[in-house]
Amino acid sequence: MNTDHAFATAESENQAPQPMEASDIRRVLVLGAGTMGQQIGYVCALHGLDVCMYDVSGDALDAAAARIERRASKMGIYSHASDSAAVSAALARIQYCTDPAQASEGADLVSESVPEDPELKGRVFGQFNNLCPARTLFTTNTSSLLPSQFAAATGRPEQFCALHFHDMSLTRIVDVMPHPGTAPQTTRVVTDFARRIGQVPIVLAREHNGYVFNTMLMALLSLALKLAANGVAAIPDIDRAFMGVMHTVVGPFGIMDSIGIDTAWKITDYWARRKDDPQEAKNAAFLKDLVDRGALGTKSGQGFYTYPHPEFMGPGFIAGER
C-alpha cells in the first residue's frame, strides 16, 4: 500500500491539515522545468529533499535533466557540496514527471516557476490544488506579479505565498512575500524552509511588485532598454558606463542575457500593457526582436552578447578596447 497516498487521501477527506514545520517538508514539487525551476529543484535535492520536477513537456524535462547534470558541479561548489558523492546523491533524489497526479503524490511544498501570466499561474495552481495533499504549502517564484493576483485561484490562499529565488549560482538571497490572506504560520514555515535549504530570506512586510532587489533591478533594466530602444547609445557602451562607474562585473544587458531575454520580454510586455506605457511597449518590442530570432541569452548561446565568452568579460572591455 502507498502510505503517502493513503495519508494524502485521508487528509483531503478530512480537510483539516495538521500544521507543518519546515522540518516536516520532505518532498518538494517544482512546477516548471525552466532555468529557475532547475536551480530550485537541484538545491532542494542537495539539501536532502526528494524533488519532483513537473512539466507538461517531456522534451523540456529531458533538457532540464541534462542541464541540471551539467550545472551540478558549479551549483555544488557554491553550496559547499562539491564532492562527487554529494552531487550524485542529489541528482538521484530528483525525478521528472509529466503526470500531474503522480507528481502531486506526497508533496509537502510546491514551488511554481511557470511563465509570468497570472491567469496561467492560477490555472496551474487550481489544477494541483485538487491533486496535492491538504497540508501542502504552495509558493510562487514569480518575478514581477503579486501573489494576491492569483491567490484565490490556488484554492488554498492561506497556505500560499511567494518564495522568490534569484540566480542561485550567484547568491543565496531569497524573498518571502505573503499576500493579505497568507496565514502567519505559512510565512514562518516558508521562511524557515528557505533557511533549511541554505538560503538567506528577506521577508517583506507587505506585497510589493518586484520584491526588494528586483524593484531596483527592474528600474535599471527599464532605463537601459530605454536608452537602447531610443538609439541614445550602443548596448556595449551602456553596459560599459554602468560597469565602469559601479565597478561591477556585468552590466544591465549582460544581466538580461543571464535572466533570459524571453523572460525579460514577457515581464516588460506585461507591464507595458498593464500600464499602457508607450516607452515600455517600445522596450518590449526591442526585446521581442531578439526573441523572434531565438537570441534568448546565455541559454541559447546568443543574446545581446555571444556565449560562453561574451565581450564584456574581456580584459579590455571597460577601457573600450576592441
pLDDT tens across 165-194, in order? Answer: 998 877 899 999 999 999 999 999 999 999
Q: Are 252 and 240 in contact, with CB atoms under 8 Å apart?
A: no
Does any domain span residue 208? no
CA atoms of 37 and 94, how far apart (whole Å): 12
What b-and-e string marks burial along 217-234, b requiring 16 or more CB atoms within 10 Å of the CB? bbeebbebbbbbbeeeee
Residues 302, 229 share a domain? yes
CA atoms of 151 and 121, how far apart (whole Å): 10
Does any domain span residue 150? yes
Does any domain span residue 82? yes
Residues 55, 79 share a domain? yes
Cell numbers for 109, please give them: 511544498
Residues 231, 198 share a domain? no
User: Number of folded domains in the chain?
Assistant: 2
Residues 122, 27 share a domain? yes
The residue among 198 and 1 whose pLDDT is bigger is 198
DSSP 3-state of 216:
helix
Does any domain span residue 277? yes
Domain of residue 137 covers 7-203
Sheet bearing 200-203, strands edge to edge = 94-97, 50-54, 27-31, 109-112, 137-140, 160-165, 173-178, 200-203
Residues 199, 79 share a domain? yes
Cell numbers for 137, please give them: 504549502
Query: Given CA atoms 65, 120, 28, 131 in this order, what sign does their dihedral have?
Result: negative
**pLDDT tens-digit series, residues 22-74:** 999 999 999 999 989 999 999 999 999 999 999 999 999 999 999 998 888 66
Residues 100, 185 share a domain? yes
Residues 195, 217 share a domain? no
Does any domain span residue 130? yes
CA atoms of 322 and 51, how far apart (whole Å): 46
Q: CB within 8 A of 181, min separation 6: which ones?
A: 148, 151, 157, 158, 160
DSSP 3-state of 138:
strand
**pLDDT tens-digit series, residues 110-168:** 999 998 899 999 999 999 999 999 999 999 999 889 999 999 999 999 999 999 999 88
In the chain, % of residues over pLDDT 70 = 91
From 203, 223, 257, give the residue that closes a domain: 203
Q: Are 262 and 296 in contact, with CB atoms under 8 Å apart?
A: yes
Residues 224, 173 share a domain? no
Indicate which CATH number applies to the domain containing 258.
1.10.1040.10
Q: Which helix (H) or strand (E) holds 273?
A: helix 261-275
CA atoms of 96 and 62, how far apart (whole Å): 8
Residues 69, 113 share a domain? yes
Does any domain span residue 220? yes
Q: What is the DSSP letter of 165?
A: E
From 203, 231, 249, give the residue that closes a domain: 203
Residues 164, 41 share a domain? yes
Q: What is the DSSP letter of 310?
A: -
User: Going by DSSP bridges, is the β-strand pair 109-112/50-54 parallel, antiparallel, or unpaired?
Assistant: unpaired
Residues 174, 44 share a domain? yes
Does any domain span residue 315? no
Residues 113, 24 share a domain? yes
Does any domain span residue 258? yes
pLDDT band for position 15 (50/70/90)?
A: low
